[in-house]
């Protein structure tokens, strides 16, 4: 998708036959099971299933051309890997121009293998970017706890999980209980993350925006940003030499 392009529900000509658009987006949604490089684009397209227009179909066609140019890409899971788990979380504040709701995204790795990822538009409007980032951290924390419990059921005990975030404000809130008095409206999210840090399950670290892998799930990136991040997410083309 082109960076900084906004999509509106009421902008553009309405499609005469919506069947083709709906069928295409449903198939793209199924494809996101293994192609997480198109997850953000599909998350945007699926919001216009009830009222789709020509600009939305143009983007769907663009995604289709991208897939056609790289049909053999998929997730690679090596035979030997460590049990170190790490996660990246990010957000895009007020991404939806119609509702001004944020988009959060995360990706979780077991060693270098991507095992969980998500891109989602939230159901509420946030008042600050720090609150948005903390919501993203809380969602990622819940996913980490679930994956850790699953590994324990398989008699595998992972080490302390590393969570990378590019918001220093959110990291300060997680580490400093004094900040909680100023953020009572997100007290539950604060408690979720801080409790896991105190139990030693989770450790948080700051990561620069250019190394934030979850950016792929929250916003449209240009060529120079998209492909370097994609190369770090264990996606391989079986036809490549």
pLDDT of residue 109: 92
10 Å Cβ neighbour count for 222?
11
| d(C-alpha 31, C-alpha 158), whole Å | 29
pLDDT of residue 87: 92
| CA-to-CA separations, 11 to 14, 20, 107, 159, in angstroms, rounded | 9, 19, 32, 49
Where exactly are the structural domains of the chain?
1-71, 85-217
| d(C-alpha 228, C-alpha 156), whole Å | 32
| d(C-alpha 215, C-alpha 197), whole Å | 24
Task: Name the H helices within 115-186.
Answer: 129-153, 168-175
Q: Which residues of the chain have pLDDT under 70?
A: 12, 93-100, 123-130, 176-190, 240-241
Homologous superfamily of 85-217 in CATH? Answer: Ribonuclease H-like superfamily/Ribonuclease H (3.30.420.10)
| d(C-alpha 111, C-alpha 161), whole Å | 11
Name the packing angle between helices 129-153 and 168-175 (round to 10°).
60
pLDDT of residue 95: 59
10 Å Cβ neighbour count for 113?
14
pLDDT of residue 54: 82
Length of the chain equals 241
pLDDT of residue 180: 53
Q: Dump pLDDT digits (tens) for 31-80.
A: 888 888 888 888 888 888 877 788 888 888 999 999 888 888 888 888 88
pLDDT of residue 187: 56
């Amino acid at each position: 998708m082109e960076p900084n392009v906004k999509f509106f529900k009421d902008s553009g000509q309405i499609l005469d036959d919506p069947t083709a658009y709906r069928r295409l987006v449903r198939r793209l949604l199924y494809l996101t099971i293994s192609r997480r490089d198109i997850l953000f684009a599909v998350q945007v397209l699926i919001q216009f299933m009830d009222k789709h227009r020509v600009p939305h179909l143009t983007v769907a066609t663009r995604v289709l051309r991208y897939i056609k140019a790289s049909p053999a890409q998929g997730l690679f899971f090596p035979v030997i890997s460590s049990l170190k788990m790490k996660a990246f979380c990010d957000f895009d504040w007020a991404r939806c121009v119609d509702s001004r709701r944020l988009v959060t995204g995360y990706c979780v790795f077991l060693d270098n293998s991507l095992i969980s990822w998500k891109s989602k538009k939230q159901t509420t409007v946030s008042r600050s970017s720090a609150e948005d980032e903390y919501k993203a951290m809380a969602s990622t924390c819940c996913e980490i706890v679930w994956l850790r419990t699953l590994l324990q059921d398989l008699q595998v005990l992972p080490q302390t999980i590393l969570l990378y975030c590019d918001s220093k404000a959110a990291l300060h809130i997680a580490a400093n209980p004094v900040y909680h008095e100023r953020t009572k409206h997100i007290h539950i999210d604060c408690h979720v993350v801080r409790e896991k840090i105190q139990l030693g399950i989770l450790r948080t670290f700051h990561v620069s925006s250019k190394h934030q892998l979850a950016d792929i799930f929250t916003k449209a990136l240009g060529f120079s940003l998209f492909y370097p991040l994609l190369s770090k997410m264990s996606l391989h083309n079986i036809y490549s030499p």
